[in-house]
Amino acid sequence: MIISIGNDHAGPEYKKEIVTYLESLGHIIINNGTDNLDSVDYPDYGHAVANDILLGKANLGIVICGSGNGIAITANKHQAIRCALCWTPEIAELARLHNDANVISIPARFVSIDQAIKMVDVFIKTDFEGGRHANRVNKIACK
């Protein structure tokens, strides 16, 4: 699977550990995030991840910022992106299972790296359930 990842200055260490884990599983990673702690603007990285998915360069996305909110809001500005802010593996699973989320947002200042990796693992391994959820997901995008 090809996964696009983007982060601001709150997430370089998270990204490094997540990328190492995903590459160990054989996934291809597109790095759209900063690699240092210098202050940057999270929208630049959220848009880059969303665009990778919309252009078919990536199957799923991961975005990381301090609260997870700003970068999730940014990604969700794109019509076909469903970015879910997740705090636990259970929420990450439901985001895929019920909401067909294609981007997970991680709040680096509020979850451990270990917790973030567990959320990503569940997110990438869970498929959309469809059924009754498909009708709901189809109503999300503005026309």
Q: How is the chain split into domains, by residue range?
A: 2-138
pLDDT reported for residue 19: 98
Instruction: Output the pTM of the full model.
Output: 0.96
pLDDT over 80 at 85, yes or no: yes
What pLDDT band is residue 44 in, cutting at 50, 70 and 90? very high
pLDDT of residue 143 exceeding 80, the answer is no
* Secondary structure E strands in the chain: 2-7, 28-31, 60-65, 83-85, 103-107
Known catalytic membership, residue 98: yes
| Superfamily in which the 2-138 domain is placed by CATH | Sugar-phosphate isomerase, RpiB/LacA/LacB (3.40.1400.10)
What number of other Cβ atoms are within 10 A of residue 92's Cβ? 26
CA distance 65 to 19: 16
- Residue 78 Cα to chain centre, angstroms: 14
